[in-house]
Amino acid sequence: MNDIETTFDLIVIGAGSGLDVASAAAEHGLKVAIIERDKMGGTCLNRGCIPTKLLIHSADIIETIKKASVFGINVNGYSVDFDKIMKRVNGITDTDSDNIKDGLKQSENPKLFAGDCKFIGNKRIAIGTNKDEGEQVITAEKILIAAGSKPRIPKIKGLSEVDYITSDEALRLKRQPRILTFIGGGYIACELAHFFGSLGTEIHIIQRNDMLIPNEDKEISQKFTEIFSKKYNVHLGYTAQYISKNTDDVDNDVEESFKVVAKNKSEEILEIDSDQVLVSVGRIPSTASLDLEKTGIKVDEKGFIQVDNYLEANVKGIFALGDIIGKYMFKHNANLEAQYAYNNILHADRKTPVNYAAMPHAIFTSPQVAGVGFTEQELIKKGIDYVKSAYPYIHTGMGEAIEDKEGFVKFLVDSKSRNILGCHIMGTDASILIHEVLVSMRTGDGTTDSITKTIHIHPALSEVVARAAGNFRMG
C-alpha cells in the first residue's frame, strides 16, 4: 500500500501537556493531529507524578501507623497487601488514560494517530502502523514536540544482561521485593525507596555523590541524608562497577538474585545481594527516535531540543515544550509552557516569552522536601550577597503537636533589596507550605514582607514559614 499524506494546521507529538495545546487549538478552529505511541496522558499520568504519589500515600499511612505510639495510640500490628496497593494505583491511572483515549477516538479534531513517529523531511512526519498498511505521512506548517523523556541507562558492566528495572517498571511490579538495591540517589530513587522501604523492603542506595538529593540546598541535602541513612542502607561515594544475576531452583521454585559490585574513590569494594535492582540515575529526552535532523531541528549535546524564549526551535513554526527541552523537568512546568506554546503557535504576531519566575519543586519522601529559587551554594558560586534565616518546625505550636523534630524552613534573601532569592523546606507538608512563598515571589512584591505582614492562623503549621521569614537580621 502506498504512503498516504495528509495536511494539518498543527501536529502535536506527545499526549501529555501537549494534549492541552492540541485540544485548545482544535477548539480555536485549527485542524489538529496528535501523535502518541504510548498511553494517553504522558509520563506524569502513567509513569511519573500521579502513580508515584498514589503509591507514596500508602507509605505515608504506614509511617503514621509506626509513629502512632508517640501520640498515645497503640496499634497492634498491620499487614501489607502489595497486590491491592498496585492494583489500586494502576486501576486509577489506566482508567484515566483509557478515558482520554476513548474521548480522542471519538473526535475527528484533534485526530489521534497511535504509534511511533519520525521526521522524514521538512515538517513531514511518518507514523508507523504495520508492514501491510505501510506508513501514514502527515505534514503541517506548525508542529509542537512534547514527547517527554525516559530513564537514562548508565554504562555498567553486566547491566544489559540482567532484568533490572527503572521507575517505569517499579510502578507495575507484581511482587514486593524483599531486598531492593537502587543505583542512584536522586529524588526519584528516594521517593521509591520511601515507598518500598515503608512497606518493609530492605533498601540499599548506591550513590556516587557524598549526599542524597545533591541538587537541593546543601543544608537540606545533608539533613535529609542523615535521616534517610537511619532508615535505610545508604552507601555514599560509591559507583556501581558490575551487576550480575544468579538463578536458583528452590523446591521447584525459580528464584533470581542480583549482585551489585560497587567501588569508592579509596578503591574499597562493596558487594550487595538483592532480589531486584532499580536504576535511577536521571532522565534523557525522547529525541533519538524522532530523526529530528530530517527537518533541521537542533539539539544540544545531551539531546534536548534547543528553543528560544518563545519555545520555538531553530526551524520556524516548530515548537517544543516539557522534558524534551530540559528547562525544568516537572509536570507543572510543562503545563505552564503549554499555555505559552498555545499563544505563540496561534499568534505569531504577539508571541510572549515564557515567565519561569519562582519555579518550584517538591520531593514526596519522608520527610518531604520543597524548594524554589537559588540554593545557598549557587548564591556563593555566583557571588551574590545574601542573608539567611532558618526556623524549626518543633518551635511552633503545630510543629510540637505533630512532633516534627527534624523539619525546618530556610530563607535566602538579598541583603540590600530584601527580595527572596530562595526558600527551602524539609518536613511535614513541605510541598504545601512552599506555596505561600511562591505567591510572594511570583505575584507579590517578592520580599519576605508579603509573608510577615500576613495574618497567620495560630497554631497552623504555616506559622513556621512566617517565623522563618521574620527571623532575619538585616544589615
Which residues are catalytically annotated? 458
Interatomic CA distance for residues 338 and 346, integer angstroms: 12
| Residue 360 · residue 436 · CB < 8 Å | no
For residue 356, CA distances in Å to 18, 173, 314, 340, 441 come to 18, 36, 21, 11, 11
Residue 318 β-bridge partners: 143
Nearest by Cα to 344 from 10, 8, 7, 6: 10
Alpha-carbon 464 to chain mean position: 26
Query: b/e string for 234-245 if b means 16 or more Cβ within 10 A?
Result: bbbbbbbeebee
Closest among 229, 225, 187, 226 to 204, alpha carbons compared: 229
The sign one gets for the Cα dihedral 320, 326, 328, 331 is positive
Catalogue the E-assigned strands of 26-168: 32-36, 111-114, 117-121, 124-130, 134-145, 149-151
Using alpha carbons, select from 78, 321, 60, 280 the residue that is nearest to residue 181.
Answer: 280
